[in-house]
A and B are shown apart, each in its own frame.
Chain A
Amino acid sequence: MDALINLGIFVALLCVGYLAGTLAERNHYRRIRRRERASRNFPVFTDNDTKNLSGMQEAFLASGSIVVSVDYFKRFLANLRNLVGGRLSSYESLLDRGRREAMLRMKEDARRRGGHFIVNARLETSAIGNMQNNKNKVTCVEVLAYGTAIRLTNPELLAGKS
């Protein structure tokens, strides 16, 4: 009888997790796509070569970070996957959302502070939640995007960046 009640609670949690998680993820992706389209003309580069750049007025650190978690259902899927190994596809979308959101926030940060583009962009990921003591474990990650934002004296030059 106890096992039955526990099973019921567990299945209910899974359903709630699945529905809420799917909805949240779909909405997040929709926002990400819209903002990515809106900011596609703001360049981000991974190289750090600014020696040949003329008309540079200011350089500053731009960063954007996000802490994001998965739902109960996906955590459960990942847990099952842990038993047999293989692609943790339920966490792939979590990290994908994290990276894209962090990039967007970095761009927004740079733009708000007057930057025209970003060079030397980097991504960092760190897991939050104590893995050693897995009771009450919170499965979430922080994704941090940072780079050097450049402000030009004449933004028209942007098209000529070599």
Chain B
Amino acid sequence: MKFKSREITDGVNVTPTHPLKELCILVGGIVGTLVAIFFVLGWIAGWLVAKIPAKYEEKLGRLYAYAFADSTHSKELDAAEAYLQDIVDRLAADLPEKRFPYRVSIHCSQQANAFAIPGGQIVILSELLKQVQSEQELAMVLGHEIGHHVNRDHLRGLGRSLAIMTVMMAIGVSEQSGMAQKVANYTGNLLLLRYSRSAEMAADNVGFQLVQYHYAKPHGALDLFKTFEKLVPKSATKFPAWGLTHPHPQARFQRLRERLTKSSASQHERKPLAAGIFANICESKADSDNK
């Protein structure tokens, strides 16, 4: 047998698929499956959440409320809370289905924000109170949070996060996990954000409806989004909405603005806030913090 020198060819060892094609197929398949699973689980979670009795929701709320419990209560703070409570009571008076009384409280903070906590609680951070200009604007904040309660958004959100976490755990996502798991994680987060944005818009609807119902001149409610626009840094408005928990303030303003023209309310008068009501609410707290 003689040695014969042969041409060496690129053999059969490498599958001739283009890597980008493979990437598209794999990412598309995995993301698609995750989206499907997520929607099914999310739907189930939403369905189950509607069946949670108010009693358990209140218990759950107490866990959250603990974080916002201020030990010191000044006279000014009590007065401000009573003022807010009065607005909330008026707004919520005609809601058809109320599982529990809505209770509002103020938490001293440098951030301008408000939350709905399970069990009918609404927490407003003091900085936001210093930013709002009219009663309609304040009513929009409170109405928005009531909207979260009416739609049971925190429970739905909790259910969906749980659904996502279950899926992530099933495919082994952790801090040190591989890149495929990270893709799954991004997908999950973006889906949660999508839900979050639609929940915010639904809460806006409820809030604005309440303001329109109770105030003859609801125009001032839209000032809230102008206030938000001022509060967020300019650079943040350039971020695409799909990466954010809330829609852009301009978009929220535009949406509600359209409804306003339809309902032909053209008066722009604002009802002023009770004079100086939020001026000194967190002064004593700041003092004690400094000491």
Contact = CB atoms under 8 A, between A and B. Distances in A.
Interface string B238-276: 011001100000000000000000000000000000000
A36 B11 CA distance: 13
Given A79-B178, A90-B19, A40 B239 contact: no
A95 B19 contact: no
Contacts, number: 94
Interface of B: 1-3, 5-8, 10-11, 13-15, 17, 19-20, 22-23, 26-27, 29-30, 171, 176, 178-183, 186, 189-190, 193, 236, 239-240, 243-244
Given A37-B8, A83-B171, A134-B178, A159 B22 contact: no
Main secondary structure of the interface of A (DSSP, over half): helix
B15 A92 contact: yes
A96 B14 contact: yes
B2 A159 contact: yes
B30 A1 contact: no
Given A4-B239, A82-B178, A40 B6 contact: yes
A126 to B, nearest CB: 18
- Which range holds the interface residue count of chain A? 35 or more
Contacts of A90: 19, 22
Interchain residue pairs A-B with the least CB separation, the first 7: A4-B243, A89-B15, A79-B180, A80-B26, A36-B8, A135-B176, A80-B180
A89 B190 contact: no
Interface of A: 1, 3-4, 6-7, 10, 18, 22, 29, 33, 36-37, 40-41, 43, 73-77, 79-84, 87, 89-90, 92-93, 95-96, 99, 117, 134-135, 158-162
A159 B20 CA distance: 47
Q: Which of A4, A99, A134, A159 has the most CB of B within 10 A?
A: A4
B281 to A, nearest CB: 30
Contacts of A161: 2-3
Contacts of A159: 2-3
Q: Which of B26, B182, B189 has the most CB of A within 10 A?
A: B26
Given A75-B179, A77-B19, A84-B26, A1 B243 contact: yes
A87 B17 CA distance: 11
A67 B7 CA distance: 26
Contacts of B243: 1, 3-4, 7
Contacts of B176: 134-135
Contacts of A1: 236, 239, 243-244
A89 B14 contact: yes
Given A29-B10, A135-B176, 5 more contacts: A43-B5, A76-B179, A81-B22, A84-B29, A158-B3
A40 B19 contact: no
Given A1-B236, A89-B22, A83 B182 contact: no
17 contacts: A1-B239, A1-B243, A3-B186, A3-B243, A4-B243, A29-B10, A33-B8, A33-B10, A40-B5, A80-B23, A80-B27, A82-B178, A83-B180, A89-B15, A92-B13, A96-B14, A134-B176
